[in-house]
Structure 1
Amino acid sequence: MGQVNDDLVVEAGDVHWLRADVALAAAARRQAAQLARGLCFSEDRVARVELCVTEMATNLLKHAHDGSLALRVVRTDGRAAVECLSLDNGPGIDDLHRALLDGTSTAGSLGIGMGAIGRLADVSGVHSLHGRGTVVQARFWTDGQVPAPRPVEAGGLTRPISGERMCGDTWSVRTANGHGPDALLLMMCDGLGHGPLAARAAERAGSAFRESTRTSPADVLQDVHQNLRGTRGAAVAIALVDVAARRVRLSGVGNVTALVATADTRHGLLSMPGIVGVQMPRPRTFEAAFPPGAALVMHTDGLSGRWKPADFPGLFAQAPVVAAAQILNQAAVRRDDAGVVVAAYRQR
């Protein structure tokens, strides 16, 4: 397996999901403050995080038919941030520009408006679908400084099956040495079943992916297969985003959906039947073009594979985590583990 790989870009981590109910605002403030203080935020910045999640919670309770908050710590390039995501299945936002104006509020919310989320947070984003729902993102870095953007940005989100705290789905992203400075390797994993045993398989897959020093998707998949022996196994897909060649190469086994999407097209990348760690066929590698403006989307079978990019106007202009959250929000099977990771190639 080689030495521990220091090229990790970002990974799933633990996500704290809070459903929309009358206690949401208080619970969100407590959880967000705990995460922020765990990263040694100043009390002033802790208060900013608390104010932000309070506005998110208030908006959910007043406007959404169904919704939740996802709170987590994001670690990337040796830095850390608290991230707050609001997902709802409400009516959407008719006038997004007006809603984002600082100080604007609707239907008797706190009065600071969604625009204040952008003012309070170091990074923010929003994507809304009329009559279907909205995703709002706010991220607070420990030092308040936003990292320089990469040509290909990646992010994702997981959610456990209803009634479980541990998720059997996970994802991870690391650099791919030898394929240029901007190349990335992505893993999407679905541990078989649900609960602690599925989560254990997913954790083992993540460890193998991080520790592997190889960069061929088929070779990395073999490393994951070896490390999953003795577990219940998993569906796993490994993708290489080769920016210099403008290609994506993918090797997968099991039911993981992978596709290259543009604003109105999708090109699927196949996975082979089998179970990684149990009975895996000889890996095959499939390729697709990856031009600027495209996004690689990988997700588990906790989401329907029937969604179409044209149903999500403007989605891939958003940060990858916002895109991942909206796909999960709209396409997830409500009673299953779900995981999505997105890598977006920005136009320059």
Structure 2
Amino acid sequence: MGQVVHRAGEVRDGVWTRAEEPSSVGAVRRSAVELAEEAGFDAERVGQVAVAVTEAVSNLVKHAVEGMALVRPCPGLPGVVELITLDRGPGMPDVARAMRDGYSTSGTLGIGLGAITRIASSYDVHSLPGKGTLLSAHFAAERQITLPPATGLVRPIGEETVSGDAFAISIDGPVTSVLVCDGLGHGPAAALASREAVELFMIAPDDEPLAILGRLHRGLNRTRGGAVAIARITPDKVTYAGLGNIAGWIAYADRRQGMVSVPGITGHQGRRFQQYDYELDEHATIVLHSDGLTDRWSPALLPGLFSRSPAVIAAGVLREAGSRRDDACVVIVRP
């Protein structure tokens, strides 16, 4: 597979919509239809996407607590529309049963789930009673697609539409390289710094993380700078370098291990840079996130989540740890 790049914090990344009022159903559906038409879907397929998105967001409005929905072009898959929903309850005790048409338990999201998954080219669901439900659904002109092993989510502070956080992903065969940047502060100036970081990263994303960090530190001096972390992941190893307060984790089903960043502001303040190697086994998941997410999430508190797809894991970590008082970015890699 060639390089896969996604820049977050731009308009094309999509807008998170609070699924609390009936009007939100139409807003998300219109966005999905527009993206499907731009991707070249025929009229029948566009209509199917509209039905699936309507079902998903209507369920959030009727049954969910703190439901949120995002529609965007799928990172790394041109021509694919991605829908992500998350909520804080009530969850479903039996997801497989809920996927059967006509099944519903009072007060849950079971209604319509079978239709959504039947229409989608790819989907994933994670739900825990009392915790809530996470859904990712991908729609392409064809019915079967293969998702990349990495993705990320960005959510701006409050009701803003521009985020100072950004990420980039490059995939080359078994090697996945990722960047997370948290531009200093918020708004357009922070977004400018993080976009510049993405551009500098993509000059040579296959370089060692330490070399990329040095390139970013020199290049971001004309911006306000920010916190940066770079990870180069193979099936058995992650090489990691960070400057500032981006959190890097190796997560398993029941535990996590932190990776080391050094203090500083990329582009302005930094001591001697370092990179570190960490061994991985086949069950490892790499998590990078900005300080718009707290460290209070734990795999042990979300049973089953870290066996799911990167999109659903990202949604789950964002739901559990994301703050509305700061830009938030999380990237997930499952090598």
Q: TM-score normalised to the size of structure 2? A: 0.93
Distance 1:172 1:102 in 2: 38
Partner AA of 2:332 in structure 1: V
Q: In the alignment, which of 151, 164, 167 is matched to residue 163 of structure 2?
A: 167
Q: What is the deviation of 1:143?
A: 3.7
The equivalences for 1:205-284 within 5 A come to 205-212=197-204, 214-243=206-235, 246-284=236-274
- Partner in structure 2 of residue 25 of structure 1: 25
- Partner in structure 1 of residue 116 of structure 2: 117
For the aligned residue pairs, the C-alpha RMSD in angstroms reads 2.0
Aligned residue-pair number: 330
Kept in 1, the 8 Å contact 2:65–2:88? The answer is yes
Distance 2:109 2:249 in 1: 40
Kept in 2, the 8 Å contact 1:235–1:254? The answer is yes
Q: What is the deviation of 1:222?
A: 1.4
Q: What is the deviation of 1:186?
A: 0.9
What's the CA shift string for 1:100-127, capped at 9, x where partnerless?
A: 1133234489996211111000011111
Identity %: 42
SS at match of 1:306: coil
Kept in 1, the 8 Å contact 2:122–2:144? The answer is no
Kept in 2, the 8 Å contact 1:15–1:158? The answer is no
Q: Which shows bigger deviation, 89-98 or 51-60?
A: 89-98
Structure 2 unaligned regions, length at least 5: none
Distance 1:291 1:320 in 2: 17
The equivalences for 1:6-21 within 5 A come to 7-12=3-8, 14-20=13-19, 21=21
Q: What is the deviation of 1:145?
A: 3.8
2:120 equivalent to 1:130: no
- Partner in structure 1 of residue 276 of structure 2: 286
Kept in 2, the 8 Å contact 1:191–1:235? The answer is yes
Q: What is the deviation of 1:84?
A: 0.6
Kept in 2, the 8 Å contact 1:212–1:223? The answer is no
Partner AA of 1:215 in structure 2: D
Distance 1:309 1:110 in 2: 23
SS at match of 1:76: coil
Kept in 2, the 8 Å contact 1:124–1:139? The answer is yes
TM-aligned CA distance change 1:75 to 1:340, over 3 Å: closer
- Partner in structure 2 of residue 68 of structure 1: 68
The equivalences for 1:49-64 within 5 A come to 49-64=49-64
Kept in 1, the 8 Å contact 2:228–2:244? The answer is yes
SS at match of 1:80: coil
Q: TM-score normalised to the size of structure 1? A: 0.89
Distance 1:278 1:201 in 2: 12
Q: What is the deviation of 1:161?
A: 0.4
SS at match of 2:102: coil
What's the CA shift string for 1:3-32, capped at 9, x where partnerless?
A: xxx723555461221111220111111111
Distance 2:13 2:279 in 1: 33
Distance 1:165 1:92 in 2: 29
The equivalences for 1:76-91 within 5 A come to 76=76, 79-91=78-90
2:302 equivalent to 1:318: no
Q: What is the deviation of 1:88?
A: 0.8
Partner AA of 2:114 in structure 1: G
What's the CA shift string for 1:208-266, capped at 9, x where partnerless?
A: 111225520010111222221211111010001122xx111100001111010110121
